[in-house]
Amino acid sequence: MEDPVLLRRFHAWLQPVPSPQDTARLAFFQDALIVLDTNVLLSLYEYTAESREEVLTALGQVSERLWMPYQVGLEFVRGRRSVLESRKRVLTDASKSVNAKLTAARKAIIEAKDTVRAQLQKYARVPAEIDALDQLVSEAAVDEHLSAYRDVFKAHLGMLKNGHDLTPVNVDTADPILPRVADLYGDRIGNQPDDQLLQQRLDEAVAFRFPNQIPPGFADFDKGTPLMAAGDFLIWEEVIERAALLPEGSRRVLFVSNDVKEDWYDISNGKQRPWPALLDEIHRRAGAELRLETPPDFYAGVGAYLDADLADDTYEEIRRVSATFIPPTLEDGAVVTARTAAQLAPPSKLPIAAYRSAGLTSPAVRNMMESPTAAARLVQWWLIGVTAQLQRREVSEEEPRVDIAAAARGSDRPAPDWEPGTVLPSGEWIHRESSWIAPWFLDLLGAVPPADRGILSALASEQAAENQRPTD
C-alpha cells in the first residue's frame, strides 16, 4: 500500500538524522556521483606528504565517479596559494606570540623578584637574604631558565614549518598537487555557465533564496559581492543540473564538504542534520538522492566499503585538518552581522578585551569568549560590537565593524522569532511593553549567572536605546 500523500510529500523532513551506520549509505559509496567541495580539495595542500599520497590514492579508487562543478574548479585553482600562505602566516604569528609571551614572562618574574626584594629591605632581619634572592633570580638566571623553554617551543614550530614539503613558491613554479587532481577528474568537470545563466542564478540567490534563508549558501549573504556570496549556491545549481543527467534508477549524489554551517545543516533542537530542503529539492528537480558527508566520514567510508588503504595516522590528520577548517575571512570594509558572525572567527584577543571592558566576571561567559562554536561566535561578535558602540573600550582602526543587536525598541517585531520584552521579569528588563529580544540573547541570559546576566541585559538595553535615536 502506498504511503499517504502527507508522508510522501514531506518524506525528507521525516527521516532520522543520518549516521555512518545507515544501511542506505553503502549504495552511495558503490555507485553515486561524488562531488568534493572546494575546501576538500584545498585540504590536500594542508596534509603532510605521506598522508596526502594515501588520500590521493584512495580518491583514485573512485576517480571514475568524481565530478567537479565549474565553480569548485575556479575556487580551487584560485585558492591554492592562499592555503599555504595562511599556514605560513599562522606559524609566523605563533613564533612571534611565543617570543612576546616569553618576554612578558621574563619581565613579570623580574618584577615579582623586585616586589619581594622591596619587602625584604623593609622588614628582613637578615640582609643576606636579599643577596641570596638577587643571585637566585638574577636576570642571567631567568634568561637561562626561559631559554630552555624557548628552545623547545622554537624546535616544535620549526619542525612544523620545515617539515611541510609545500610553500607558496611551489604553487607558482611546480605545483605537485594540481596535475594529480587533474588526472583524477579527467574531463569530468562542469562547463562555465554563460553570462545570462550566471546572472539568473545570482538574481535568484540574492533576491529570493538568501533573504528567505533557503539553503544552501544563505549564511554568505553579506560576503562581499553577489558573486562571492553565491559560491555555494552556484555549486548547488551545477550539482542539480548534473544529477538530472545521470541514468534513471541510479541518480545518487555524494557531496563531501568541510562546511557544516547553518546554511547546509539544520542545527535546531540539539541535532545536526543536512537540511531536508536540500534532499527535497534535488529529488524534485533531478529525481536524485543526496547524501552529505564530512571528509573524516567520507574517507572512513572509502576505507570501509572500498578497501582503501589509509593508515590510522592519516585518518587522524584528516580529522585534524577538517576540525580546523577555517571559514571565509572578513573582506576589507565588510560589516559583521548576525547572519555572518557564526562563520567568522574574531581577532584572537578581541573577545576577551570586550569581556573585560564590559565588567563581566563569570567563567561561563569567559569560556564562551574562547569557544569556536557558531553560537559562541555570535555572542563574541555582539559583545565586541556593543562595547565599541557604547564606548566601553578603545577601538582600533583595523577592528571590524559589527552590526548585531540583541534587543530593539519599538512596536514592530524585528524578526519572526524575536520575543517581546515581557518574557523577562520587570525588574530585569526596562521598557518591557515596547521592546523585543533576539532568541539567541535569551538563550545567553539563561546560561549565565545573575551578576553577568544583569550586565549583559544592561548592555543590550542601552544598545537598543542608542539604536533608536535618530541619526543626522
- How far, rounded to the nearest angstrom, does the alpha carbon of residue 284 sit from its chain's CA centroid? 31
Is residue 398 a part of any domain in this protein? yes
Asked whether residue 297 falls in the same domain as residue 246, the answer is yes
Q: Does residue 54 contact residue 310 with C-beta atoms inside 8 Å?
A: yes
Helix, strand, coil fractions of the chain, as percent rounded to 5: 60, 5, 35
Model confidence at 325: pLDDT above 70: no
Phi, psi dihedral angles at 50 (to 5 degrees): -65, -45
Domain boundary among the residues 323, 353, 388 is at 323
User: Does residue 347 sit in the same domain as residue 455?
Assistant: yes
Domain co-membership, 451 together with 420: yes
d(CA 281, CA 287): 9
Give the residue carrying C-alpha cell 502527507: 6
Between the CA of residue 52 and those of 47, 197, 310, 314, what are the distances in Å?
5, 36, 10, 8
Angle at 271 between CA 265 and CA 272, to 5 degrees: 25
Judgement on whether residues 167 and 137 belong to the same structural domain of the protein: yes
Same domain, 167 and 180: no
Instruction: Note whether residue 295 is domain-resident.
Output: yes
Inter-residue contact 24 to 290 (CB < 8 Å): no
Domain stop point among 146, 171, 196: 171
| Burial class, 71, CB count within 10 angstroms (exposed 0-12 / middle 13-18 / buried 19+) | buried
Confidence of residue 186 (pLDDT cuts 50, 70, 90): very high
CA 173 to CA 175: how far, in whole Å? 6
Total structural domains within the chain: 3
Q: Based on the fold, state whether residues 130 and 273 are members of the same structural domain.
A: no
Contact 444, 456 (CB under 8 A): yes
User: Dihedrals φ, ψ of 251, to 5°?
Assistant: -90, 90
Give me the chain's average pLDDT, please: 86
84: CB partners within 8 A, 6+ apart: 45, 166, 167, 168, 170, 171
Q: Are residues 339 and 368 in the same domain?
A: yes
pLDDT band at 163 (very low <50, low <70, confident <90, very high): low
The SS3 call for residue 221 is coil
User: What is the residue type of 99?
Assistant: N
**4 inside domain:** no
pLDDT at 18: 86
> Whole-model pTM above 0.85?
no
Same domain membership, residue 309 and residue 236: yes
Cis peptide bond upstream of 216, omega within 30: yes
Q: Are residue 412 and residue 268 in the same domain, yes or no? A: no
Cβ 263 vs Cβ 215: under 8 Å: yes
The yes-or-no verdict on residue 160 having pLDDT over 80 is no
Residue 158, CA atoms < 13 Å, CB-side half-sphere: 6
Query: Residue 1 falls within a domain, yes or no?
Result: no
Whether pLDDT at 208 is above 50: yes
**Dist CA 370 CA 375 (whole Å):** 12
Domain that includes residue 353, residue range: 335-468
Residues 166 and 181 in one domain: no
pLDDT in tens, 209-256: 998 999 998 887 766 678 888 999 999 999 999 999 999 888 999 999
Give tens-digit pLDDT for 344-388: 778 878 999 999 999 999 998 998 898 867 778 899 999 999 999
What cell numbers appear for 465 in the block? Answer: 536605546
- Set of cell numbers at residue 32: 553515486
Closest CA to 256 of 38, 110, 11, 22: 38
Whether 328 is covered by a domain: the verdict is: no
Residue 75 counted as domain residue: no
